Amino acid sequence: MATAIKIPAQLCQALLAADGILVLTGAGTSAESGVPTFRDAQTGLWEKFRPEDLATPQAFQADPENVWAWYQWRRELVLKARPNAGHLALASLQELLPGLMIVTQNVDGLHQRGGARQVIELHGNILRSVCSVTGRLISAEQLPADGPQPPPSPHHPAGLARPDVVWFGEALPAIALNQAMEAAERCDVCLSIGTSAMVEPAASLPRMAHFNGARVVEINPAGTPLAQIAHWSLSDTSATVLPALADSLKKLIAQSG
């Protein structure tokens, strides 16, 4: 139930008074939709591989067919998943709080499928494909199911289609990272949800927000290093806390109206 957890009244007031709100999400927000974490995705035919051996430019160059097949398998898992109550509540929160910006480390697109707007994808999106040489987006219509796998890129004669995700050894997309950092510098409240707060550079965003005077909120069943600076730590899952938060805000808005 959305009322299973107590939402601090001061948190609701801070959110309603904020001009800018940054929400950083991690794997925990998707786990409740059945999306395995990066390291939990090694089952069945893929048990003998380490994720690090399949998610590098070097691995793709050495064996593009194997890497493409692994990502196609992971894409099928993502497509079967559905946005959970946490995703839906975040979309509702964006309607209630126009200044709310979502920055996600997840690559599954579940925030958008749950109705969220203004989502910055720090690590890309596994459902998209790009040219391995130019980085240009390749539409689904340009990816024939028959023929060689991965398909050749339509954008460069030496290119192949590859997942639009950030691999080990690659930099995060500059535009997305800059937008996220700007949001961290400007926000009045920062919520860190379902993330270990240890993977950089995303882990620095709540700390940057805190340094610039924002109030920090941690939503995670397990404690993380972020608890040391968090103004509020809500020890539960996003699918439990976020619907309760949305309900509390709606009641407060109704009372004030």
- Residue 253's Cβ-side half-sphere holds a number of Cα atoms within 13 Å equal to 13
Active-site residue, selected from the candidate residues 87, 123, 155, 210: 123
Specify the amino acid at residue 124.
G
Q: Three-state SS for 250?
A: helix
Residue 62: C-alpha distances to residues 131, 134, 167, 210 (Å): 16, 19, 15, 43
Active site residue 156: no
Contact 205, 190 (CB under 8 A): yes
The residues, any chain, with a CB within 8 Å of residue 195's CB and separated by 6 or more, are 24, 25, 26, 27, 28, 105, 202, 203, 220, 224
Contact 110, 33 (CB under 8 A): yes
Known catalytic residues are 123
